[in-house]
Structure 1
């Protein structure tokens, strides 16, 4: 967990965050070098995840294949075609004290820095303080990490069976929702989610003042 080194007068110290990510990457490389068996296990698991993801890809249509997850006292679902993998461990996450409520930190994923964000503030709920698994989402590449309390299962739901978004949601929030299942799961619109500027942050070091 990041400490005061990630803060500087006037806002976030992005340089410190990047230094911590570099140390994590170096530690990961060293562990893999000194433990070939563990490295093989990691690579095998990545291969299994990729195989599951590719086989689960579904084209938009009448039947939706959804990843069901729980975050901030709410159940959500997102089409499998937007979910690239699930990170079960939060050990490689660097938190950023002073960051906006929906930015939960960053992770180093396959050599690239990825923002981990929280859905709860977008739907008028307070952001939980605890960590959990991260859904890596994107179209064609990893674009965003969604923090979850837990990932439940893969569901198949008919698009016609979805209920309309609840009227209590504001106009901006309604654009993110394809509908509700009869169990009360919010089915997210993947394209709209990946276009929402509230969930994307400039992670380049040029932001450091």
Structure 2
């Protein structure tokens, strides 16, 4: 996991990033005040998220509820119990020049700073440059934002219908994959993804006021 010295060597200006996030927070607050309907929609969405209950871990032969998404010419799936919400776009994020390729930037989520990361570099591919939706991940609270190209649908599959992870994967990369479907969808292991130190960074000033 990158430490403060690593960040300094990479030339990351956290102070500038937080100043930009503060401006984004101010602009977001102003837009909500000027648009009561949008403000109510945001409040309704928060209420729906708070009312969600975690889905217990499914046994091997039971159905898993998965969210299907597309990144860099590959379809992936992840259990919905690890996805708290979906942000429409990653455009309102602060880029961090010099950051490792898997760190796309940071953004604000309900006043909290959230790291937005890329999946492709974990599998040895270049990080895409286009914008797209962000999956907010975390079983009980928002821990990570995962930028994707498209969110396709929610589907149900049984774990014992998966094929083994591709032979080309090895080591840490292999632990991120539960299996692959016969249609070529890579099913990610949510706990391993949220426990991968390559995706977590020291965001020292967590809250923007």
List gaps (5 residues or longer) in structure 2: 1-7
**Superposition RMSD on alpha carbons, in Å?**
1.9
Aligned partners of 2:10 and 2:162: how far apart in 1? 46
1:75 correspondence with 2:103 = no
Contact 1:50-1:84 at 8 Å conserved across structures: no
Aligned partners of 2:109 and 2:141: how far apart in 1? 11
Aligned partners of 1:65 and 1:10: how far apart in 2? 39
Higher relative contact order (CA closer than 8 Å, sequence separation 6+): 2
Contact 2:11-2:97 at 8 Å conserved across structures: no
User: Which residue of structure 2 aligns with residue 191 of structure 1?
Assistant: 191
Aligned partners of 1:85 and 1:109: how far apart in 2? 11
Contact 1:135-1:148 at 8 Å conserved across structures: yes
User: Which residue of structure 1 aligns with residue 66 of structure 2?
Assistant: 66
Contact 1:66-1:77 at 8 Å conserved across structures: yes
Q: Superposed, which structure 2 residues align to 1:96-135 within 5 Å?
A: 96-135=96-135
- Aligned residues between the structures: 196
Q: Which runs of 4+ in 1 moved over 3 A?
A: 45-51
Aligned partners of 1:119 and 1:49: how far apart in 2? 24
List gaps (5 residues or longer) in structure 1: 1-7
State the Cα distance separating 1:44 from its structure 2 match: 2.6
Deviations 1:143-169 (A, max 9, x none): 001110000000100111000001111
Q: TM-score scaled to structure 2, two decimals?
A: 0.88
Q: TM-score scaled to structure 1, two decimals?
A: 0.88
